[in-house]
Amino acid sequence: MSVKRVARSVRDAATNEGKSSTVSILQHPLHPMVVNFPIAFLSGALATDLAYLVTGSAVWAQFSFWLCAGGLTMGLLAALLGMTDFFTMHEARRHVSGWSHFISGIMLLSLAAANTRHRWGDVEDVWPWGLLLSAVGTFVVGVTGWLGGTLTFRHDIGTYGDEFKGEDSIGDDDDDSDSPPKD
């Protein structure tokens, strides 16, 4: 990658007034790719907490601890990528759902940190606080994900952006070779 190309990318990211993600690899936004891990991990912690309470098997409590710790770690990475997009994209800050997603993400990281810290000394300390933190965390995962989905699917923020629309789409207006014959 040439120095001019890197400089142009940095300049474009700093002045991005559009909707395309400023943190991407080959125009593929990183935040939506990484955010799936904390969603799965933190939601899975509730399931493993319930499994521990039903079976009494310590392995489920161990799973819960590692899911909370992994959710926190990957959540911090996703937050770093998302905050970079948020603060470099004017359009993202214009929507209430953008600010709500930002704030609920901070709340979720706080819950994940509290849940991980709660289990640090004794992973089997699930009832009642571990379960409560996992349940509230799972609810906040849903709210935060809903708000992120609103940004992506309703407002088209953090996607490829307008400059890439139609590049690989099926049924381009320029190429009707796949269209059925017209009468």
The Cα 23–Cα 113 span in angstroms is 25
**Tens digit of pLDDT for each residue in 109-121?**
999 999 999 999 9
What percentage of the chain carries pLDDT values higher than 90? 56
Question: With 90 as the cut, is the pLDDT of residue 160 above it?
Answer: no
- Band (pLDDT 50/70/90 cuts) for residue 155 is confident
Q: What is the pLDDT of residue 5?
A: 57
- Band (pLDDT 50/70/90 cuts) for residue 16 is very low
Q: What is the pLDDT of residue 137?
A: 97
Q: What is the pLDDT of residue 42?
A: 97
- For tokens 């606080």, what's the residue? 129
Domain locations in the chain as residue ranges: 32-157
Question: With 50 as the cut, is the pLDDT of residue 39 above it?
Answer: yes
Higher pLDDT: 101 or 27? It is: 101
Residue 135: its H or E element: helix 129-149
Q: Which residues contact 173 (CB under 8 A, 6 or more apart)?
A: none
Q: What is the pLDDT of residue 60?
A: 97
